Amino acid sequence: MAEAVERVLLYEEALAEVLRAAETVPAPAAETLPLLDAAGRVLAAPIVAERDQPPFARSTRDGFAVRSGGLVEAVAEGLRVVGTVRAGEAWTGPALRRGEALEIMTGAPMPEGADAVLMVEHAAVRDGGVLHPEAGRSLRPGENVVPRGAEARAGAELVPAGRVLGAAEVALAASCGYAEVTVHARPQVAILATGDELVELREELGEAQIRNSNSYALAALVGGENGEPLRLPIARDTSDDLRQRIAAGRGADLLLLSGGVSMGKYDLVEDALREAGAEFVFTGTKIQPGRPLVFGRLPVAGGEGWTYFFGLPGNPISTEVCFRLFVTPLLRALAGRTERAPRFAEARLAEGIHGGAKVTRFLPAEIAGDWKGVTVRQVPWQGSGDLAANGRANGFVVLPLGVEEFRAGETVRVLLR
């Protein structure tokens, strides 16, 4: 067995390592699904424009299609309204001539000869069909008109592969006639909770026992990132049990373990992984909670390539923080997503908080406010095992290392849930 070498990284360094690993994971398979069944999934093929968008010069207003030049001079005598064109129709009459106007609705194609639309609010029709622009009203050529193909050309890539099919992408796909789309298959993520104290949901609890909540939290987090969670039976804190369960989990696309990575006498996960042939990328991080996190890879049994694993600290808030910061980017890559790193926002501290001299802190926090300003306050907690406090949080406040005190009113980063 190889000698244990510790490698403890700053948050930024650890993230960079995960992102580097993410570059190397194989692209997942593709499957074709009805459009709405694919919502939330990762596109495996781009959404391509079916035709020029708009397919014709389109009026963006209800009003009157006119020739823009000479509109001001037309105030006195007015313009003759020669017809109406509604959305869904095309004007089949002769091209518009000087002195003429065509009543047009939003979304209708522009008639030949016209180059702008006078809004209905800026004109009046009197004397049995004579249009009078309001005094002094002029129009630029092209005003209130989107030219053919200005939004996209036929065949252009509207959404690249690797993006999540959210509501905006569903709208685009629908606008291009995609009844079905091609998305990436979900990577399988094995979840292995370790601990002698753990009891499953329907089992009877002994006094000193606790329920296995991490497997469920992780399954929910995995599901939210387009992974297929596979919950393994709890591994007890013995080398034998860990060996067997790791063997069962290493066939997945990603293996997540929780617990057993600290310095305790029964924290055997790192050794069990090493014994299984693991290479470690890092064995700890300078973050809190989450310091004991380990990341590495196992050779695929009897095949080529590697299965990445994370040994997540057992305390439930550490587990969640490490998932959001480090598992998410790798899982997104395994799911075929091109955007991987978590996105942070900014908020102002509603109250002061202690920072960490040597660790970047990611503390459960309540983020509030509206568009005029977002505030954040730490949720009082009893430490990284306090699931009740975590339940009162809607995100995490980030306190970069090296600063002892963060004062009320300061701007800090937050990670939204």
Name the residues that contact Mg ion, by CB under 5 A: 195, 259-260, 314
How far, CA to CA in Å, does 319 sit from each of 139, 159, 389?
61, 33, 15
214 binds ligand AMP (CB under 6 A): yes
Backbone angles phi, psi at 391, to 5 degrees: -70, -20
196 binds ligand AMP (CB under 6 A): no
390 binds ligand AMP (CB under 6 A): no
Q: Of 144 and 215, which has the nearer Cβ to ligand AMP?
A: 215
Evaluate whether 103 touches 111 at the Cβ level (below 8 Å). Answer: no
Count CB-CB contacts under 10 A for residue 4: 10
Closest CB 287 distance from Mg ion, rounded Å: 19
214 binds, among ligand AMP, Mg ion, none (CB under 5 to 8 A by kind): ligand AMP
290 binds ligand AMP (CB under 6 A): no
320 binds, among ligand AMP, Mg ion, none (CB under 5 to 8 A by kind): none
DSSP per-residue letters across 154-177: TT-EEE-TTSB--HHHHHHHHHTT
Q: Of 187 and 259, which has the nearer Cβ to ligand AMP?
A: 259
Q: Which stretch binds ligand AMP (CB under 6 A): 107-115, 208-216, 248-256, 351-359?
A: 208-216
CA 132, CA 99: separation in Å to the nearest integer?
11
Backbone angles phi, psi at 38, to 5 degrees: -90, -5
Q: Tokens 């592969």 belong to which residue?
A: 161
193 binds ligand AMP (CB under 6 A): yes
- Judged by CB under 6 A, the residue of 195, 296, 336, 395 near ligand AMP is 195
Contacts with ligand AMP, 244-283, as mask; x by CB under 6 A: --------------xxxxx-x--x----------------
258 binds, among Mg ion, ligand AMP, none (CB under 5 to 8 A by kind): ligand AMP
288 binds ligand AMP (CB under 6 A): no
- Judged by CB under 6 A, the residue of 192, 198, 349, 398 near ligand AMP is 198
Element (H, E) at 332: helix 328-334
197 binds ligand AMP (CB under 6 A): yes
336 binds ligand AMP (CB under 6 A): no
170 binds, among Mg ion, ligand AMP, none (CB under 5 to 8 A by kind): none
Amino acid of residue 245: R
Which residues are CB-neighbours of 44 under 8 A, at least 6 positions away? 28, 30, 31, 161, 182, 183, 184, 336
385 binds ligand AMP (CB under 6 A): yes
Characterise 329 by phi-psi region: left (phi > 0), alpha (psi -120 to 50), beta (else): alpha
141 binds, among ligand AMP, Mg ion, none (CB under 5 to 8 A by kind): none
Report the SS3 class of residue 326: helix
CA 323, CA 373: separation in Å to the nearest integer?
28
Report the SS3 class of residue 245: helix
Strands (E), 290-394: 294-299, 306-312, 345-349, 353-354, 360-370, 373-378
Q: Of 35 and 210, which has the nearer Cβ to ligand AMP?
A: 210
- Show contacts with ligand AMP in window 311-330 (CB under 6 A): 313-316
Closest CB 362 distance from Mg ion, rounded Å: 21
Residue nearest to ligand AMP (CB): 314
- Assign 3-state DSSP to the chain and report helix, strand, coil percentages, each to 5: 20, 30, 45
Residues in touch with ligand AMP (CB under 6 A): 193, 195, 197-198, 210, 212-215, 258-262, 264, 267, 313-316, 385
